[in-house]
Chains A and B, each alone.
Chain A
């Protein structure tokens, strides 16, 4: 062996190189592991228990798909409601609305199930080339609360590789390959399918076993997309949807009611209604941090929903919603989600007075818009990530 390997100069350089390697290893390890940490949730005193999806379908046990479901059980007979936030994790109003409900509501009749991180693996990565933030902060009276910003897709470390073309199992409808990791293209899932299909199947089992009457899935959409400020529903949810629209219009809240096309498969608003006894509703709010036009991704863009490019596009009439200097703040988008599920529940109760679900403590729409969503979030405890 060459003696130069053991010369003093080479040994010093080798030690320096290994010191750099060790430092980068531990710094990289921390950065990776921090990106797996999930944002904290402080449930209200009304929560009965925190269930896991594996209670309904054992196929997800021990995997990242075994997400938590916050159960609010009044103990009195009534209908059951399921709310999903975070099906797509680049749509922040979805999981913030679910968290705001978890931290405020009490159920006095019937049951409410809330999954705030519907596809938790999507919170462990971001979509490549989008320049997304790893996390963002929302002001509360007690300090800043942090939330994760993620991807609309399952993390490929759990499901890889993507097929060239994704074929929806039940309908044989074909889609782009990456949609195989999109929870809202994999409904109703299957027990022996991919990670994402098993995740969808676990929620279907929850809905079937818990006799869920109403299920809501909170989404957001780019402003240049036509399905926006909308509630999408299939035929079986029609009566409840119309009642909700009437109630919302009485308060001057403009929502588009979109009928789910019968031949558009894999979607929550189609398959949940077809494969379970549940009435599904999918809500969309405008998200300026999601579309193609927005500028640099910042905390401000996510929380205030203001973006110069979108304001310009709005003035040119290129968007499906109004967009001006006021933007689309996160608080307004969260308030719209919460108001829509509140009115869907009210409409259901009017149509089914024999088996209602009564929820108290829902954050009022006007108050959330004026005070901000932070006013309805618990103060942060043991804050691990300073801003």
Chain B
């Protein structure tokens, strides 16, 4: 594993953690508006996380 693969792995981990944070917040918030705002933010993170770019 070279240094670039390590950096890419770290990026993926950070993306996964941020996406998980927003998914938890979608559950946690009671307001539907806040849930949908969470959806808008989580969507590009999930697309990027699954290699769709």
Contacts and interface: CB of A to CB of B under 8 A. Distances in A.
B12 interface: no
A126 B29 CA distance: 37
A50 interface: no
B10 interface: no
Contacts of B38: 17
B47 A25 contact: yes
Contact of A21 (B30, B42, B50, B53): B42
Interface stretch (A8-16, A262-270, A308-316, A357-365): A8-16
Contact of B32 (A4, A16, A25): A16
B47 A28 contact: yes
A303 B30 CA distance: 52
A129 interface: no
A28 B43 contact: yes
Interface string B2-35: 0000000000000000000000001110101001
A18 B27 CA distance: 9
A161 B52 CA distance: 19
B39 A20 contact: yes
A209 to B, nearest CB: 29
Nearest to B36: A17
Contacts, number: 44
Given A18-B26, A21-B26, A157 B32 contact: no
A32 B47 contact: yes
Contacts of A24: 39, 43
Q: How large is the interface on B (under 10, 10 to 19, 20 to 34, 35 or more residues)?
A: 10 to 19
Interface string A1-43: 0001100011001101110110011001100110000000000
Contacts of A9: 30
A157 B51 CA distance: 11
Interface string A32-67: 110000000000000000000000000000000000
A18 B46 CA distance: 13
Nearest to B37: A17
Given A28-B47, A28-B52, A21 B39 contact: yes
Contacts of A5: 27-28
Contacts of B35: 13-14, 16-17
A18 B42 CA distance: 10
Nearest to B50: A29
A21 B43 contact: yes
21 contacts: A5-B27, A9-B30, A10-B27, A10-B30, A13-B30, A14-B26, A14-B27, A16-B32, A17-B26, A17-B38, A17-B39, A18-B26, A20-B39, A21-B42, A21-B46, A25-B43, A25-B47, A28-B43, A29-B52, A32-B47, A32-B52
Interface of A: 4-5, 9-10, 13-14, 16-18, 20-21, 24-25, 28-29, 32-33, 157
Given A14-B35, A32-B53, 10 more contacts: A5-B27, A9-B30, A17-B35, A17-B36, A17-B39, A21-B46, A24-B43, A25-B43, A25-B47, A29-B50
Interface of B: 26-28, 30, 32, 35-36, 38-39, 42-43, 46-47, 50, 52-53
